A = this chain, B = another copy of it.
Amino acid sequence: MVNVSIIGASGYTGGELIRLLEKHPNVEIDSVTSRQYESQPVYEIHKNLRGSDLLFENLKPSEISSEIVFTATPHGSSMKIIPDLLENGSKVIDLSGDYRFRDFSKYEKYYGLDHTAPLDAVYGLPEIYREEIKKANLIANPGCFPTGAILSSLPLSKSQLIDRIIFDSKTGVSGGGISPSEAFHFPNVSDNVNPYNIVAHRHGPEIQQELQEYSDVKVSFTPHLVPVIRGILTTAHSFPDFSKITSNNDISKDNYISKENTISKDNDIESIVEYIHNLYLKQYDGEPFVKVLDIGEIPKLSSVRGSNFAHIGGFEIDENGRLVIISAIDNLVKGASGQAIHNMNLMCGFKEDEGISHYGMAP
């Protein structure tokens, strides 16, 4: 059993944390905070939570002493409260962008803010940092786009197959948050597709940070708002150097070079596809939340809707040598609150999928 608090619980990721944590068998919620809605029942804001008896409180960090604290606060705000929370002895899972860059100068460049409290944090993608997460006091929960993009391409970077990759992502509108704006006005979104920050979204360098741990891959990223509530579908386009497939990738190493599965340059596309598919199967073998689909099978947002699963599929190569890998996640669950709970489960020694094992909701 662990007691937790959620700071900034009136937004979408806060609502998702309550939705899932209230039913988590090992969790007791101490407090959920919101300055704006102090003393109101949470169900007045998150109307799907009718039945909950939680009330929003307006607490200072010093008044919170839960073992785990989720900070679902905007970037720039998290760094102001996390030092105090850590001081109090809480472990913190931060859903903002404040601790995702290991190089804080990048934070300052891409978020346009001075970082006032640089601290060591573990990037909370369990598929990469499982062991570090178990021991961490501060988790930087990954961005929604990076979660889907990194999972879709990690084996490509590890196997040194690519030097560039383009992520063309399509995101549901809930990624933009609970506050109305022109960009999210129904008549502007419905029956439309809206690319935005087409060459300069903050999540681009975040993806690149993680992929460059294994090889010098240059990441290009463009998000598109589609008329969807939840979900991110990422289409990863790359031109692998198939000649390198001969070089004996060994997936057991970090930047793996396999001993088996060697493919000569002369091999046909089918063998290459199988080889690449195999890299993914091995990479994610045993992962509770990553499902590698069959070759040619296409992930669907509806397959992961509301769930913590990531589906990865596609695995096809066109006549001009372009490889297409596609991933689908729910941006609010695997891309935010569900992954945060996965991190909590790891930190607390719970079953990894406790409280987040439910299937996606389709149709």
Contacts and interface: CB of A to CB of B under 8 A. Distances in A.
A47 interface: yes
A224 B229 contact: no
Contact of A190 (B190, B303, B306): B190
A186 interface: yes
Interface string A290-323: 0101000010111111110101001011111010
A194 B298 contact: yes
A359 B193 contact: no
A218 B320 contact: yes
A170 B316 contact: no
B174 A359 contact: no
Interface stretch (A66-74, A197-205, A251-259): A197-205
Most buried by B among A293, A302, A357: A302
Nearest to A173: B186
Interface in A225-245: 226-231, 233, 235, 237, 239
Interface in A169-221: 170, 172-174, 178-182, 184-196, 198-200, 204, 218-221
A31 interface: no
Contact of A306 (B23, B164, B322, B361): B361
Contacts of A324: 195, 198-199, 222
A1 interface: no
Most buried by B among A170, A198, A237: A198
Contacts of A314: 195, 198
Given A174-B363, A186-B185, A191 B230 contact: yes
Contact of A166 (B49, B230, B237, B306): B237
A174 B187 contact: yes
A282 interface: no
Contacts of A80: none
B291 A51 contact: yes
Contacts of A326: 195, 198
A301 B227 CA distance: 12
Interface of A: 12, 15, 19, 22-23, 46-52, 164, 166, 168, 170, 172-174, 178-182, 184-196, 198-200, 204, 218-222, 224, 226-231, 233, 235, 237, 239, 291, 293, 298, 300-307, 309, 311, 314, 316-320, 322, 324, 326, 357-363
Given A50-B311, A185-B185, A318-B199, A23 B359 contact: yes
Given A199-B318, A235-B168, A363-B174, A48 B227 contact: no
A359 B186 contact: no
A266 to B, nearest CB: 21
A240 to B, nearest CB: 13
Contacts of A180: 180-182, 184-185
B192 A359 contact: no
A318 B361 contact: no
Contacts of A15: 362
Contacts of A233: 193, 195, 224
Given A193-B170, A195-B314, A198-B324, A19 B49 contact: no
A359 B237 contact: no
A46 B309 CA distance: 15
Given A23-B359, A50-B291, A168-B237, A226 B193 contact: yes
